[in-house]
Structure formats: structure tokens, C-alpha cells
């Protein structure tokens, strides 16, 4: 009889089974009797030390059944989940797994869950087990339990290397967003349908996948990741990522206070309603900011400069932040204009929002998103950690919450990501996703993320990708915040 595990437990595999060479990972589940047309799929992500795949061949699923140079094979696709025994199996030749593969994560997803309105709340008896492929002896079994409700994807468990041996980790972490969400977590690029021309509704998973991977039935399209060891696959932030259509910005507009301004004439009075910034020359709100040409969407600038975050005051005072009008080409630094009243308005709005929606979920979402951005390159050095603590201590907006609890939660999320990138990131994104049904808070969280990423004056590619993923988890269009 094999070892039975509970969530979070780890156990030796090869050390306690000398000579073990080939194992099978069997995954199974049952769907409630009153539910129909459920199609669940198992897959495996073969990741490096960073927790990311290195190439398409390291993602094993129904349309790519062989990975790790043939050492890992996918078999069976039980479309209904009916019947006894494993629904799907994955075969692993342990001694032939390439050395660059440090972890083998076993996942379960519901195909077309969003379209069908399905989730793991209607799935029971899910499990993953490891057995000797030569003798059929069951070595490990992990029953996932009934902790899932709205999730449409699960990282069930993983095999991982440790001191030259293989160990098993019982994970059971849920995701919303199906296979695409898992792929983003593990560094596999996916093609999504174009975003709608206006702000999408919240909580409905508007970023869907296109069925263009060789016209496969399940419609998933992986692309080569090409990320560095720190993890995130690159995408061009000058153009829409994930095949989305960027939100259009308005053309040159009149000053909100004082009517139409003449070209070349300064705007005498500006309104910052809704967080917009107007050009000091022509009055347009089509503004970008940043160094070396990277852009921030206008929805983010309001939160970046002084808005809900006081972190950047010294950075702005050093003339290191430049705003440029896309309409007339005028450039200026924030300290050349009196933004005091606007900044106070932004801070007041943020405090009002945090007070109105004050809860553990809101605090966790803010802190988890900051941890994800801070850990975007896979590490958080002491100076970066200290900056975050100083920010929490000085932020009037976050004083709505207990400062010590905020710092404790931040350290907890960072430590979990450091200990296990897969589980840690999954838990952080789950915390972020809990506020997607609060649009005002969701946008505030996105602005905090950008402020954290830009705090050192270098909003790098990893941090941009982290913000993109956070926006998508929040149900926001990333191109409204990153342009």
C-alpha cells in the first residue's frame, strides 16, 4: 500500500524506492451526476529552477504528448471522466529526464469551462497517484479534496529534484482562467482573442484563447517561451500582447477648465477628474511617460506620479520622470506643474476606496500584487525589500490597514514564492483574483503594481510582464495600463 498524503506534504520517491526507473502519474476525477459535457484534461509542465518551461517541448498535453526528449509521455484522454480507474496518465522515465528539468508539475483543467459555465465546484474525488510502471505497485496517492469552487484549473502535484533524488509534492492549488492561466504561470505564451473595443466587464474572463494550434480540437496555441532564467516570456509593450487590440486613446482634447486652448499656449487650468493628465501645451490627455520610450497607459499615470502611491515623490523631484504628449510632442517633468491639488484628490480617493472596501481580501490583493512585481525577476534583494517596507510605513493610503499586518503579509507572499515559485505564485494570484469583482479596487491594485515596478526608475520587462498578468487576473485590459 502506497503513502497517502495531505495537501502541502512532501515525500521521497526514489530514495525510498531504490532502483525505481519508470513511474506513471495517474490522475482521476468524477463529475457530479447532474452535470454533463464536462471535458477535463491532464497535462504536465516541465520547468527549470525558475519554475518556467524553457521550450514548447517542455509542455506535455493532449496535442504535444511527448516531452523531455521522450522521457515523459502523455496518454489517454477520457473526455467524460466516467468509469473507475485513472482518467489520464503520464509516463516518466526518471533517469532519462533532461537535467534542465527540475520539476514536473501535474495539472488538471476543464476544457471550455468559461463558455460552459463550469468549474471544479462540480468535480469530486480528484486525485493524483504515482505507481511503478513495471510492477503497477502504487507508491503515492494524493486526494485533492473539495476545497475548490470557482477554479477552472488545478496544479495537482509535482515531482521535483532534490539532492540527486526525486521527491513528490502535494500541491492542490487552484487557478481561474483554465489552461491559459496555467500557461502564463509556467511561462508558456498563449494566443488570446482580441479584447473588446471598450472596457470589458469584470469577472467574466474576457481574455479567451483562439483555436489556432494546428486547428486542434481544444484550441490551445503554445509558442516558444524564450525567457531568461528569471522566467517571463517577453512580449512587445509597444504593441498589443496576446493578440489583443489596444484601447485607443483620445485625440487632442480641449482643456477641461477654460475651453479650447491654442496650440503652443499653456493650459491655465487643468482638471484631473478620473485621474487624467492634460498636456501643458495643447490640453490633450493622450499622454505617455517613462524612460527610453517605454509607455504607460493613461490609466496608470494617475496612480504612478503621486496618485495612490507616495513612493515616487523623491524620484519625481529629481527630474527623472518625463511626460510626453502624443498629440503635439510636448515634453515636461511633473515638478514643472503644480499637481498638489490633484495629488491630494488622488490620495483622498484611494483612502476612501480602501476605507469603503476594507477587508482582508483587499489587503491581501494589494500586498500579493506588490510581492509578484517585486519578485518578477525571481528574487528580492534586501534593498528592494527595505524600500517596500519604507513604502508601507509612509503610505497614508495603506494606513487604513494595520501596518505590521501589511508587512507580515508581504513577507509571507515573498517567502512562499522564494520557497516554491509554482505554489507561491499560484497563491499570490489567487489572492489578487479575489478583488476582481470590485472594479475600483482592481484598478487601484494595478496602479500600485506599476508604482512598485517603477520605484527604482527602471520598469523592466519582467516587471511589465508581471503587471500584465496581474491585470488579466483582475479582469482589466493590460493595454489600458501599459501602452
What structural domains and CATH numbers belong to the chain?
3-223 (2.60.60.30), 238-483 (1.10.3680.10)
Q: Give the count of beta carbons closer than 10 Å to the beta carbon of residue 443.
A: 23
Contact 479, 340 (CB under 8 A): no
Report which of 353, 351, 365 is spatially closest to residue 395, judged by C-alpha positions.
Answer: 351
pLDDT tier at 199, thresholds 50, 70, 90: very low
| Coil, strand or helix at 156 | strand
Among candidate residues 286, 41, 25, 32, the one with its CA nearest the CA of residue 169: 25
Segment among 195-204, 283-292, 353-362 with least mean pLDDT: 195-204
Tens of pLDDT, residues 459-471: 777 888 888 888 8
Q: Could you tell me the three cell numbers for 310?
A: 507616495
Under DSSP, the state recorded for 21 is -
With CA atoms as reference, report the closest residue to 297 among 82, 100, 479, 80. Answer: 479
Residues 259 and 267: their CA atoms lie apart, in Å, by 10
Q: Which residues of 310-337 are buried (b: 16+ CB within 10 A; e: fewer)?
A: bbbeebbeeeebebbbbbbebeeebeeb
**pLDDT score, position 432:** 92
Q: Which residue intervals of 204-297 are DSSP H helices?
A: none
Q: Using one digit for the tens of pLDDT, what is the confidence trace for 136-164?
A: 999 999 999 877 888 889 999 999 999 99
Question: What DSSP element (H or E) covers 4?
Answer: strand 3-5
- Say how many CA atoms lie within 13 Å of 161 toward its Cβ: 17
Q: For residues 252 and 452, what is the distance between their CA atoms, to the nearest angstrom?
A: 30
- Write out the E strands in 203-330: 222-223, 287-289, 323-325
Coil/strand/helix, residue 28 = strand
Strand duo 331-332 + 103-110: pairing:
unpaired
The pLDDT tens digits of the residues spanning 92-116 come to 999 999 999 999 999 999 988 888 8
- CA-nearest of 451, 379, 366, 357 to 405 is 366
At 457, the pLDDT band (50, 70, 90 cuts) reads: low
Does the pTM surpass 0.85? The reply is: no
Amino acid at each position: 500500500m502506497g503513502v497517502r498524503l495531505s495537501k502541502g506534504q512532501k515525500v521521497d520517491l526514489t530514495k525510498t524506492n531504490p532502483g525505481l526507473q519508470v513511474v506513471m502519474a495517474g490522475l482521476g476525477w468524477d463529475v457530479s451526476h447532474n452535470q454533463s459535457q464536462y471535458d477535463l484534461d491532464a497535462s504536465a509542465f516541465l520547468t527549470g529552477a525558475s519554475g518556467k518551461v524553457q521550450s514548447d517541448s517542455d509542455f506535455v498535453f493532449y496535442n504535444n504528448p511527448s516531452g523531455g526528449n521522450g522521457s515523459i509521455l502523455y496518454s489517454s484522454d477520457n473526455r467524460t471522466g466516467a468509469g473507475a480507474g485513472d482518467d489520464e496518465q503520464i509516463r516518466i522515465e526518471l533517469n532519462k529526464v533532461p537535467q534542465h528539468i527540475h520539476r514536473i508539475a501535474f495539472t488538471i483543467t476543464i476544457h471550455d469551462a468559461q463558455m460552459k459555465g463550469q468549474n471544479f465546484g462540480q468535480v469530486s474525488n480528484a486525485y493524483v497517484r504515482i505507481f511503478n510502471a513495471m510492477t503497477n505497485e502504487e507508491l503515492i496517492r494524493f486526494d485533492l479534496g473539495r476545497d475548490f469552487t470557482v477554479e477552472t484549473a488545478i496544479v495537482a502535484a509535482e515531482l521535483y529534484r532534490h539532492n540527486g533524488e526525486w521527491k513528490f509534492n502535494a500541491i492542490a492549488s487552484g487557478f481561474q482562467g483554465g489552461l491559459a492561466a496555467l500557461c502564463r504561470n509556467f511561462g508558456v505564451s498563449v494566443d488570446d482573442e482580441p479584447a473588446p473595443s471598450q472596457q470589458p466587464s469584470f469577472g467574466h474572463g474576457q481574455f479567451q484563447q483562439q483555436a489556432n494550434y494546428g486547428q486542434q480540437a481544444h484550441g490551445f496555441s503554445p509558442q516558444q517561451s524564450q525567457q531568461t532564467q528569471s522566467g517571463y516570456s517577453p512580449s512587445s509593450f509597444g504593441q498589443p500582447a496576446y493578440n489583443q487590440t489596444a484601447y485607443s486613446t483620445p485625440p487632442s482634447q480641449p482643456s477641461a477648465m477654460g475651453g479650447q486652448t491654442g496650440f503652443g499656449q499653456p493650459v491655465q487650468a487643468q482638471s484631473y477628474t478620473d485621474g487624467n493628465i492634460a498636456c501643458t501645451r495643447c490640453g490633450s490627455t493622450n499622454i505617455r511617460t517613462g524612460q527610453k520610450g517605454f509607455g504607460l497607459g493613461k490609466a496608470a499615470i494617475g496612480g504612478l506620479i503621486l496618485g495612490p502611491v507616495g513612493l515616487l515623490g523623491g524620484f519625481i523631484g529629481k527630474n527623472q520622470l518625463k511626460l510626453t504628449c502624443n498629440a503635439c510632442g510636448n515634453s515636461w517633468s511633473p515638478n514643472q506643474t503644480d499637481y498638489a491639488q490633484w495629488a491630494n484628490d488622488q490620495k483622498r480617493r484611494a483612502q476612501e476606496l480602501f476605507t469603503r472596501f476594507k477587508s482582508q481580501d483587499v489587503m491581501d490583493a494589494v500586498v500579493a500584487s506588490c510581492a509578484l512585481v517585486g519578485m518578477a525577476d525571481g528574487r528580492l534583494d534586501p534593498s528592494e525589500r527595505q524600500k517596500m517596507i519604507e513604502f508601507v510605513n509612509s503610505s497614508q493610503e495603506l494606513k487604513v490597514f494595520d501596518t505590521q499586518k501589511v508587512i507580515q503579509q508581504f513577507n509571507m507572499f515573498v517567502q512562499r514564492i522564494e520557497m516554491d515559485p509554482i505554489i507561491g505564485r499560484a497563491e499570490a494570484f489567487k489572492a489578487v483574483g479575489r478583488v476582481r469583482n470590485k472594479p475600483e479596487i482592481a484598478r487601484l491594485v494595478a496602479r500600485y503594481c506599476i508604482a512598485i515596478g517603477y520605484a527604482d526608475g527602471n520598469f523592466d520587462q519582467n516587471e511589465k510582464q508581471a503587471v500584465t498578468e496581474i491585470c488579466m487576473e483582475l479582469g482589466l485590459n493590460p493595454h489600458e495600463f501599459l501602452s
